[in-house]
Structure 1
Amino acid sequence: MEDQKMASRVFTRLTTKDSALLVCDLQEKFRQTIIKFPEVVTVAARLVAAATTLEMPIIGTEQYPKGLGHLVPELNLPEKTPIFDKTKFSMCIPPVEQLLSPTPKSVILCGIEAHVCVLQTTLDLLEKGITVHVVADATSSRSAVDRAFAFKQMEKAGAILTTSECVILGLCGGADHPKFKQIQKIIMESAPDTGISLSHI
């Protein structure tokens, strides 16, 4: 019975009505230390653009912004995007949990660091029964080893490892979506290489 519950959770299909985008700690101070930081931000910005176009909830967090700075402007977050400070590694802090109520079926998660804040957020969300789609090409760490093992841990815990284009097109569901042409413009150019291959996962 437990295995059936896990299977139904893992294979939950993304929909715009039941999903939210969480952007974790893509802050100024990490520019020089995170693997492929500019490329990861570019991919995350595509997710933001798609979520904005599809009128989906977007939530951002900043880990100790007094010392690490704010989310980078290249993300082009909508002006009224709720962004919360935190010192806890997980994004599952009270104001975020409040915005996620009633609980969405799925969360699309991207950001840094894969082995710390993204991993802890994933575990917390999974414990709440929320399907977590971790966007691998929009998630990174300072160390390639930490990044690779974080993906392994998250997948083993029940998260879905995916890519930005897979998520964006999955949310549309087909070329007959009323906003497909707008979405098509977002993915017209291939996403930049963020240093991920199947050997890393």
Structure 2
Amino acid sequence: MSIPVLPLTLVSSVERRLATSVAEARSPFTGTSQIQDWGASWWEYQIDMAVTQGANARRLSAFFTALGGLRGRFLFPDPSIEVPIAVGNPYVTEAEPAGALVLQTAGWGLGLRAGDFFQLGSDTTTRLYQLTEDVTALGSEATLAFVPPLRTAVQVGTPIGLDAPSVLLRLTGPVPTVIGRADQHRFTISAREAL
């Protein structure tokens, strides 16, 4: 069973944020804070779809209905992510355990900059990462510093996806269909990374 992909031609705006499992306990007497970091983080999205009509509206409604609410997952190749040009075919050169925040890689042409995104895995193992430092290749090798931490161990030879990096999402609630005059449908999606 393949994972469905959200139709990008109908996306009008995207709000993306990296959520973390950090809690603050503040003293009511001194105002000092104690921060508790549980180490988990994930992507959250709010996606507004373009106003659609007729067959396109029904097709989009069917896409969300087929997800089955919180059960279903879908891939979202975030259209706000700029795809770098001529960066080579990078891959992982050293295995890294879950929780790592750096990867040793090779196969680079040009480097990437802090803020660029890449993907590891595919289908149900798709994970989206954002670089926290510029990548300067030494020859064809480079070290990547990124967030969030690796969810699973990464093996030598794992390709680094730079062409339309995607994130695997799960709805956080039902997708309401607002139907206006002249059969105009509006959809707003709230979703988080499916872990």
TM-score > 0.5, shorter chain as reference: no
As a proportion of its length, which structure holds more strand?
2
So what's the TM-score if we normalise by structure 1? 0.24
> In terms of Rg, which structure is larger?
2
So what's the TM-score if we normalise by structure 2? 0.24
